[in-house]
């Protein structure tokens, strides 16, 4: 990759993004615009996967609402993603936690703590 | 200036994230600065055009005939020369510099370049044919298949899609949106893909 492209992508990246990895429980604050008003929506869940693509790095966060699994993908460096807080560090043996999708009940959210 | 044109070098592709959170795929082009080397006029040459030079080089490195030409024009020597057809009201002079700032964001451009050469390519790559089964005793893996009927017409129709040289053609991609212009680095950000590999030379014209 050329240096120019690297520079351009570095300019696009936010500086205060915390290091997030798979298995972490995070709260993502996203700015939602409805008409003229904008508010902040918080979304908490387990990071299912992280797609490392430099300035377009994305995380997929999964949570279970009323027994229905919900997955949302966030662009880490998007200006609409205001804040990402890591609540709990998780220890995982694999990089993609797709096995959580098949699990039900308590098992579906349980991930070994990193500490 | 009635028509805007420029020579550039493809740097590569990336994405720009706008303030609204929109991700735009862009090609980064190092556009200019170009020097106007010669202007063709209808009176003298029978048509109107502007000759641009890009990438300045030592005069000794070009061929003798070109050396003579550059000496006559008194604008220095350039690795790449390209001619742009215009009407007479182009408003440029010999020796003038044209930079990426001739283009403004939110305008459209046509980008011309040479596509990646693929050599002698089969029908699947060249014409998007479908392949045959790879297993179960099949031997028709990537073959062309039938090229026509038998006795009638008794020949292969002209223009039949077959294997052959693919790529390394001049291709113009029209109406690409200019997303951003970086004047200090002479960079042009164009939405979408443009022909050729990295470091390929591109001709950019206002659409």
Q: Is the pLDDT of residue A111 over 80?
A: no
A25 inside domain: yes
- What are A11's two structure tokens? 């300019």
A73 inside domain: yes
Containing domain of residue A96, as a range?
A: 19-102
Q: What is the pLDDT of residues B123-145, one digit of tens each?
A: 999 999 999 999 999 999 999 99
- What are B29's two structure tokens? 């082009």
A11 inside domain: no
More confidently predicted of A112 and B172 = B172
Give A112's pLDDT tier (boundaries 50, 70, 90).
Answer: confident
Please answer yes or no on whether B16 and A56 come within 8 Å at the CB atom: no
Q: For chain B, how long is the longest CA-to-CA vector?
A: 71
Give A109's pLDDT tier (boundaries 50, 70, 90).
Answer: low
CATH number at residue A65: 2.30.30.790
Q: Is the pTM of this model over 0.90?
A: no
Please answer yes or no on whether B14 and A80 come within 8 Å at the CB atom: no
Give the CA-trace dihedral at A93, A96, A100, A101, to 10 degrees.
-160
More confidently predicted of A104 and B151 = B151
Looking at residue B1, its pLDDT comes to: 45
Q: Is the pLDDT of residue A47 over 60?
A: yes
**Residue A72 contacts B where some CB pair is shorter than 8 Å:** no
Please answer yes or no on whether B14 and A79 come within 8 Å at the CB atom: no
Average pLDDT value for residue range B24-33: 90
Please answer yes or no on whether A8 and B28 come within 8 Å at the CB atom: yes
For B106, the 3-state DSSP assignment is: coil
**What percent of chain A has a predicted confidence (pLDDT) above 70?**
95
Looking at residue B126, its pLDDT comes to: 95
Q: How far is residue B35's CA from residue A10's CA, in Å, rounded to a whole number?
A: 32
Please answer yes or no on whether B11 and A5 come within 8 Å at the CB atom: yes
Q: What is the pLDDT of residues B43-95, one digit of tens each?
A: 888 888 889 999 888 888 888 998 888 888 888 889 989 998 888 777 788 88
**Residue A3 contacts B where some CB pair is shorter than 8 Å:** no
Q: Is the pLDDT of residue A34 over 90?
A: no
- Show residues of chain A in contact with B28, CB under 8 Å: 4-5, 8
A111 inside domain: no
ipTM score assigned to the predicted complex: 0.80
A10 inside domain: no
Q: What is the pLDDT of residues B158-174, one digit of tens each?
A: 999 999 999 999 999 99
Task: Give the residue from B16, B21, B179 with the most A CB atoms within 10 Å of its CB, the best one to mutate.
Answer: B21
Q: Is the pLDDT of residue A60 over 70?
A: yes
Q: How far is residue B47's CA from residue B63's CA, in Å, rounded to a whole number?
A: 26
Domains held by chain A: number: 1
Looking at residue A93, its pLDDT comes to: 87
Looking at residue B2, its pLDDT comes to: 55
A38 inside domain: yes
Looking at residue B128, its pLDDT comes to: 95
Q: How far is residue B69's CA from residue B60's CA, in Å, rounded to a whole number?
A: 13
A49 inside domain: yes
Give B20's pLDDT tier (boundaries 50, 70, 90).
Answer: confident
Is the preceding peptide bond at B153 cis, omega within 30 degrees of 0?
yes
- Show residues of chain A in contact with B198, CB under 8 Å: 2
Q: How far is residue B67's CA from residue B73's CA, in Å, rounded to a whole number?
A: 10
How many CA atoms within 13 Å lie on the side-chain side of B41? Answer: 7
A48 inside domain: yes
């Amino acid at each position: 990759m050329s240096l120019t492209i690297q520079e351009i992508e570095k300019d696009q990246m936010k500086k205060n993004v915390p290091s997030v990895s798979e298995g972490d429980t995070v709260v993502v604050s996203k700015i939602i615009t409805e008409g003229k008003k904008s508010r902040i929506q918080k979304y908490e869940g387990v990071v299912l996967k992280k797609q490392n693509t430099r300035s377009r790095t994305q995380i997929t966060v999964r949570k279970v609402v009323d027994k229905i699994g919900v997955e949302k993908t966030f662009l880490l460096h998007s200006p609409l993603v205001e804040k990402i807080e890591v609540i709990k560090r998780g220890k995982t043996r694999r990089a993609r936690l797709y096995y959580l999708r098949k699990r039900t009940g308590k098992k579906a959210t349980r991930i070994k703590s990193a500490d | 200036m009635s028509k805007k044109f420029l020579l550039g070098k493809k740097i590569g592709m990336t994405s720009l994230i706008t303030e609204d959170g929109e991700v735009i795929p862009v090609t980064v082009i190092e556009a200019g600065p170009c020097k106007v080397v010669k202007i063709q006029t209808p009176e003298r040459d029978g048509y109107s055009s502007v000759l641009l030079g890009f990438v300045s080089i030592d005069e000794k490195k070009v061929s003798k005939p070109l050396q003579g030409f550059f000496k006559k024009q008194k604008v220095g020597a350039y690795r790449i020369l390209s001619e742009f057809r215009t009407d007479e009201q182009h408003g440029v002079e010999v020796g003038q510099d044209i930079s990426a700032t001739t283009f403004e964001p939110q305008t459209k451009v046509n980008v011309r370049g040479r596509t990646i050469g693929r050599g002698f390519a089969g029908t699947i790559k060249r014409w998007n044919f479908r392949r045959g089964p790879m297993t179960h005793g099949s031997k028709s893996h990537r073959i062309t298949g039938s090229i026509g009927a038998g006795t009638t017409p008794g020949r292969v129709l002209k223009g039949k899609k077959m294997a052959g040289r693919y790529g390394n053609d001049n291709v113009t991609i029209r109406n690409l949106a200019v997303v951003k212009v970086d004047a200090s680095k002479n960079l042009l950000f164009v939405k979408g893909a443009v022909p050729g590999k990295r470091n390929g030379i591109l001709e950019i014209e206002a659409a």
